[in-house]
Amino acid sequence: MSRTTIPIFPLPEVILFPGTFLPLHIFEPRYRMMLDYCSESGEEMAIAPIKMDPDNLKNPQPEIETIFGWGTIVRRDPLPDGRSNILLEGKGIAKLESYDTMEPFRIGLVEKIEADSKYIEDKLFVEIFDRILYLTKRILLSEGAKEELILRMNDLWSHPFPVDFISSILNFNFKKKQEILSSTDQILKAQLLVGIVEEMNLGE
């Protein structure tokens, strides 16, 4: 793991999974300032889900999940009034250790969780992920996904965060998605997801 600082954008029930793209509309003054900060510090930004407890939501600085996705800004479209549309590419997962500052926006001291491909050689993971792929393809077919997307699912064997990526494209409970993202054990991630896709197939 590598320790670094990164600006954190808290959002309700939004997860930036590795290997995915997230469009955002930036309009608040403090987050416009965050964009300026990002442009001077490598274009990195984290997206942290806000904890949805009613009392927490009343807090001007609500608590966030301590494990979240981070990425880089790959596109920025400034608007005449100072707002911006940006596109964020998910690059990895980070764990919050502490805050460097909370004002005018959050900058966290985080540990970036490095992708480890050793699990690909584990027979249990291979067996579970093979079933995940099969069931995911069935779900996508039932939803009318294009054949190109179905075929590209096989490329996930070489993806650094394959279970997280599949979690990002399927429609299921946010808390379960956060649980998968938060697990550092790839086999546990796969076990969590296979149960979900099995339930989704039963519901077809």
> H helices of the chain, where?
29-39, 54-57, 123-142, 147-152, 162-169, 174-182, 186-202
Q: Cα 59 to chain center, whole Å?
A: 24
- 2-12/44-50 β-pairing: parallel
Q: What pLDDT was estimated at residue 115?
A: 75
pLDDT per residue rounded down to tens, the chain (204 residues): 689 999 999 999 999 999 899 999 999 999 999 999 999 999 999 999 999 888 787 788 899 999 999 999 999 999 999 999 999 999 999 999 999 999 999 999 999 988 777 888 889 999 999 999 999 999 999 999 888 888 889 999 988 889 999 999 999 999 999 999 999 888 999 999 999 999 999 865
Q: What pLDDT was estimated at residue 94?
A: 96
Q: What pLDDT was estimated at residue 84?
A: 96
Q: What pLDDT was estimated at residue 50?
A: 95
Terminal-to-terminal C-alpha distance of the chain: 40
Q: What pLDDT was estimated at residue 204?
A: 57
Rounded distance between C-alpha atoms, residue 118 and residue 87, angstroms: 31
Q: What pLDDT was estimated at residue 1?
A: 62
Kindly report the length of the chain.
204
Nearest to 162 by CA among 192, 189, 182: 189
Nearest to 163 by CA among 200, 119, 123, 199: 119
Q: What pLDDT was estimated at residue 68?
A: 97
Rounded distance between C-alpha atoms, residue 48 and residue 163, angstroms: 19
What is the DSSP secondary-structure string of 86-139?
A: EEEEEEEEEEEEEEEE-SSSEEEEEEEE---GGGGG-HHHHHHHHHHHHHHHHH
Task: State pLDDT tens for residues 59-88.
Answer: 888 999 999 999 999 999 999 999 999 999
Q: What pLDDT was estimated at residue 169?
A: 92
**Model pTM?**
0.89
Name beta bridge partners: 88: 22, 73
